């Protein structure tokens, strides 16, 4: 029997419970892969009631989740209650969210789950509770390190029409410029190529490397970073046998004809990558963390406190995240044993 996916509860006051319930209710219609939720049953029962949904909930162990999935939403308790009301995070939010993530990683690394799928978290809520990481990506890398050196996490936003990776992630533009280096671009691109081969089934991934500055620096007249940092990285990658092109002007990199020429765009900073994919694939884009010893996907949106508990949340991105996690797990079973 295949292992199920471990789905975290995310921010209890956000739309994570809404989209989880909505996705499970469509499990047969969409032929979704089996998953179980790590969280507080009482909180999800209360949200289902608030939404007017009839959802059977089952307290199970991870090993029992697969069998329970067709008849009930399997819930594996984390021991952390969540009392937050929709749109109003309270003191339980941070503890419940972090416990769910920790348990999901423990389950996938012990072989109980095939992959981790994370519901959205509210970083400002976690920061007030002492959370020390810029986001999910960095926290997962620490958990993957298990006390040793943490792997380099790479954040990919994937959709059927576009895949992008920012080299620098959750930092200010000023800090992104300070962090950017030839070595960081090269190591990021190598991880992308490795995981696209192993987990996406691409024999020779094609990379488009964006420039940092307007027009990719115009040969140094609009900034020297593209000549001194980005271009050397592209040359190293090409010497490695990787199909990499760049630095390419970011303003012409994402139209339909350009997207057909590469499998992934490597961008220099967060918004350079996320603005285009959220423009062309807002509802079906998936956040994927590469470079980890396990598979992790997530919806490509936030907690949406303003619509939590209203029934307006769209589960499309979570559904896409569940499907992609199952696809990646099937493509690379050896990495999950």
pLDDT in tens, 321-332: 999 999 999 986
**The pLDDT of residue 336:** 38
User: What's the whole-model pTM score?
Assistant: 0.90
Residue 334 — pLDDT band, cuts 50, 70, 90? very low
| Distance separating alpha carbons of residues 29 and 37, to the nearest angstrom | 20
Does the pLDDT at position 1 exceed 80? no
Does the pLDDT at position 151 exceed 60? yes
Same domain, 193 and 136: no
pLDDT in tens, 263-321: 999 999 999 999 999 999 988 899 999 999 999 999 988 999 999 999 999 999 999 99
Residue 150 — pLDDT band, cuts 50, 70, 90? low
Q: Are 230 and 223 in contact (CB under 8 A)?
A: no
pLDDT in tens, 231-271: 999 999 999 999 999 999 999 999 999 999 999 999 999 99
CATH number of the domain to which 267 belongs? 3.40.718.10
Does the pLDDT at position 337 exceed 70? no
Residue 140 — pLDDT band, cuts 50, 70, 90? confident
Looking at the chain, list the stretches that DSSP marks H as alpha helix, in order from N- to C-terminal side: 16-25, 27-30, 41-51, 65-68, 92-109, 123-128, 136-145, 173-179, 182-200, 225, 231-239, 256-259, 270-280, 316-331
Query: Is residue 45 included in any domain, yes or no?
Result: yes
Tokens 């990776």 -> residue = 165
Does the pLDDT at position 91 exceed 90? no
Same domain, 319 and 224: no
**The pLDDT of residue 143:** 84
Query: Is residue 131 included in any domain, yes or no?
Result: yes
Same domain, 276 and 197: yes
The residue range of the domain holding 107 is 1-152+292-337
**The pLDDT of residue 131:** 75
Q: Are 66 and 76 in contact (CB under 8 A)?
A: no
Same domain, 134 and 87: yes
Query: Is residue 270 included in any domain, yes or no?
Result: yes
Same domain, 213 and 123: no
Tokens 């029934």 -> residue = 311
**The pLDDT of residue 146:** 61
In the chain, the number of structural domains is 2
**Which of 256, 280, 304 is the last residue in one of the domains?**
280
Query: Is residue 285 included in any domain, yes or no?
Result: no
CA torsion angle 13 14 18 24 (round to 10): -100
For residue 1, the tally of other CB atoms under 10 A from its CB is 7
Same domain, 265 and 243: yes
Same domain, 75 and 198: no
Q: What is the mean predicted confidence (pLDDT) over 194-209?
A: 95
pLDDT in tens, 32-75: 999 999 999 999 999 999 999 999 999 999 999 999 999 999 99
- For the chain, what is the mean pLDDT? 92
CA torsion angle 4 5 6 11 (round to 10): -140
Same domain, 43 and 116: yes
Query: Is residue 210 included in any domain, yes or no?
Result: yes
**The pLDDT of residue 145:** 75
| Distance separating alpha carbons of residues 11 and 96, to the nearest angstrom | 8
Same domain, 259 and 128: no
Same domain, 194 and 146: no
């Amino acid at each position: 029997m295949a292992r199920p996916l471990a789905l975290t509860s995310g921010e209890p006051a956000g739309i994570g419970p809404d989209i989880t319930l909505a996705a499970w209710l469509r499990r047969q219609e969409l032929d979704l892969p089996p998953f179980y939720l790590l969280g507080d049953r009482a909180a999800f029962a209360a949200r289902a009631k608030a939404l007017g949904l009839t959802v059977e909930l089952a307290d199970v162990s991870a090993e029992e989740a697969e069998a329970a999935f067709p008849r009930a939403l399997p819930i594996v308790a984390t021991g952390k209650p969540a009392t937050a009301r929709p749109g109003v995070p309270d003191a339980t939010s941070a503890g419940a969210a972090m416990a769910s993530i920790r348990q999901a990683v423990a389950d996938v690394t012990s072989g109980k789950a095939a992959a981790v799928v994370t519901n959205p978290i509210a970083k400002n809520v976690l920061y007030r509770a002492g959370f020390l990481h810029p986001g999910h990506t960095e926290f997962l890398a620490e958990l993957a390190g298990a006390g040793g050196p943490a792997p380099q996490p790479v954040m990919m936003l994937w959709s059927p029409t576009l895949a992008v990776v920012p080299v620098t992630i959750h930092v200010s533009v000023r800090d992104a410029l300070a962090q950017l280096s030839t070595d960081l671009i090269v190591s990021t691109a190598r991880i992308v190529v490795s995981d696209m081969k192993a987990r996406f089934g691409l024999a020779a991934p094609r990379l488009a490397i964006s420039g940092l500055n307007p027009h990719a620096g115009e040969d140094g007249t609009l900034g020297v970073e593209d000549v001194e940092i980005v271009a050397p990285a592209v040359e190293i990658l090409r010497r490695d046998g990787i199909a990499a092109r760049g630095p390419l002007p970011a303003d012409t990199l994402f139209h339909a004809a350009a997207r057909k020429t590469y499998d992934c765009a490597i961008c220099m900073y967060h918004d350079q990558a996320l603005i285009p994919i959220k423009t062309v694939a807002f509802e079906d884009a998936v956040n994927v963390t590469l470079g980890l010893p396990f598979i992790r996907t997530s919806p490509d949106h936030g907690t949406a406190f303003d619509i939590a508990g209203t029934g307006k949340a769209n589960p499309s991105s979570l559904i896409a995240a569940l499907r992609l996690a199952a696809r990646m797990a099937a493509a690379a079973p050896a990495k999950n044993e």
